[in-house]
């Protein structure tokens, strides 16, 4: 496996720039001031947006230097910068109503809109090409309007703390199942059409535990972070980064147990 990526080590609360070809950790950012960082988005050639419990910060990805920080809330779980410069902030109880929120901030950080719906759990949120939202809500994914009105849902046996959903070019939706430790693909009618990567389908040494963030390589192959638990000393428990080909077969894996305890977030750079 030869790639360079930003990796959130949730177990040790660190963010690294990693080169797997050389096994080098190019830089490390201690996340003690940015707790529970979960989400990352490439903004341009130089900057990355990182969401964490209190808000989000912008990072110069080549150096690891924090450029700007917005910390206004608690229980932020996802962030997304739109093409018009607005930032979407997703989380729990961000407006004091004890539900799920997606806030829209303009380019200067001024609150433009607060969307709310009942709920007690949300993780990553993704915007589809159709302008709808995919919200990971534990045992299912809700597809909603920007005002969080539910349009449909995606669910599969084994979803537990489902982590991320993404709409693909053919209209299907791919989901990482969290503690289910598999990947699931749904068709345009929200019907489960295939699942892969589960225990028994990969070598025992992989030790699927919690499938978290995933990302596609330019050739369509899939990278998946196989998180192994909270705290230190989890890196030896299983393969930390998995690579599946376009036929859903595991073709490679990578780990750095001497440096990483539990890989949760990844962003190719």
Q: Mean pLDDT throughout 4-29?
A: 96
Q: Mean pLDDT throughout 83-89?
A: 97
- Single pTM value for the model: 0.97
Mean pLDDT of the chain: 97
- pLDDT, residue 169, reads 96
Whether the CA torsion 106, 112, 116, 120 is positive or negative: it is positive
Q: Mean pLDDT throughout 10-25?
A: 95
Backbone angles phi, psi at 204, to 5 degrees: -55, -35
Q: Mean pLDDT throughout 201-221?
A: 98
How far separated are the first and last CA of the chain, in Å rounded? Answer: 14
CA pair distance 48, 45, nearest whole angstrom: 9
Reduced to 3 states, what is the DSSP secondary structure of residue 95?
A: coil
Summarize pLDDT for 143-153 with one digit per residue, the tens: 999 999 999 99
Q: Mean pLDDT throughout 223-227?
A: 98
Q: Given a cut of 90, is residue 22 above it in pLDDT?
A: no
* Band of pLDDT at residue 159, cut at 50, 70 and 90: very high
Q: Given a cut of 90, is residue 241 above it in pLDDT?
A: yes
Q: Mean pLDDT throughout 162-187?
A: 98
- The second-level CATH assignment, the architecture, of 39-122 is Beta Barrel (2.40)
């Amino acid at each position: 496996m030869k790639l360079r990526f930003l990796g959130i080590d949730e177990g040790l609360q660190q963010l690294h720039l990693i080169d797997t070809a050389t096994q080098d950790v190019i830089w490390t950012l201690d996340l003690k001031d940015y707790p529970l960082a979960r989400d990352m988005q490439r903004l341009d050639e130089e900057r990355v947006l990182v969401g964490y419990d209190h808000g989000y910060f912008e990072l110069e990805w080549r150096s690891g230097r924090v450029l700007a920080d917005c910390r206004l809330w608690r229980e932020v779980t996802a962030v997304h910068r739109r093409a018009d410069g607005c930032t979407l902030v997703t989380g729990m109880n961000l407006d004091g109503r004890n539900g799920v929120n997606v806030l829209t901030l303009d380019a200067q950080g001024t609150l433009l809109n607060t969307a709310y719906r009942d709920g007690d759990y949300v993780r990553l949120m993704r915007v589809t090409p159709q302008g709808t939202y995919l919200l990971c809500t534990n045992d299912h994914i809700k597809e909603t309007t920007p005002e969080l009105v539910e349009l449909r849902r995606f669910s599969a046996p084994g979803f537990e703390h489902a982590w991320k959903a993404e709409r693909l070019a053919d209209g299907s939706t791919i989901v990482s199942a969290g503690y289910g430790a598999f990947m699931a693909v749904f068709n345009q009618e929200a019907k489960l059409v295939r699942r892969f990567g589960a225990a028994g389908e990969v070598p025992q040494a992989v030790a699927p535990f919690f499938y978290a963030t995933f990302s596609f390589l330019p050739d369509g192959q899939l990278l998946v972070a196989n998180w192994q638990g909270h705290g230190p000393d989890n890196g030896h428990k299983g393969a930390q980064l998995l690579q599946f080909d376009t036929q859903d077969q595991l073709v490679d894996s990578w780990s750095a147990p001497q440096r990483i305890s539990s890989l949760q977030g990844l962003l190719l750079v």
